Amino acid sequence: EAAGVPVVGMAEASMKEAARNGRYSIVTGGPAWGPILQRLALALNLSNELVSVRALALPGPQLAARPELISEEVEKARKEGAETVIIGGAALAGLARKLESRVPLIDSVECGARAAARACSPT
């Protein structure tokens, strides 16, 4: 309301897209993000589909340089029952397309951009 234009968050857009595919997990950098993303899932009424938030100790930019760590967490999330995994955070943009995975991966930046484009399109 205050912005006067559509405002779309990467996390919200990604969670909504992932939840349409069933149970999902999030892999991101920075341990502070765990509780934040869990509260957001609850607020969006998407917490029943959320399997886990795997917020690694490394911040996003350092984690981007270690894609093998992300792949390991994606596999752990799959084994926990995630049907889709969000690769969350601006610093991790583009990694979802580069990683091999047995579950679909969602790039939070790309997903947020798609949602913003839809929100700004004339109806």
The per-residue pLDDT for range 24-48, each reduced to its tens digit, is 999 999 999 999 999 999 999 999 9
Residues 38, 50 contacting (CB under 8 angstroms): yes
Residues 121, 109 contacting (CB under 8 angstroms): no
pLDDT at 86: 98
Integer Cα distance of 39 and 35 in angstroms: 6
Model's pTM, two decimal places? Answer: 0.92
Q: Which residues contact 58 (CB under 8 A, 6 or more apart)?
A: 29, 30, 66, 69
pLDDT at 119: 80
What is the band of 117 on the pLDDT scale with cuts at 50, 70, 90?
A: confident
pLDDT higher than threshold 90 for residue 122: no
Percentage of the chain lying above the pLDDT 90 cut: 86
pLDDT at 14: 97
- Half-sphere CA count of 111, side-chain side, radius 13 A: 25
pLDDT at 120: 76
Look up residue 91 and give its two tokens: 């610093």
What is the band of 123 on the pLDDT scale with cuts at 50, 70, 90?
A: low
Question: Tell me: the pLDDT tens digits for 70-90?
Answer: 999 999 999 999 999 999 999
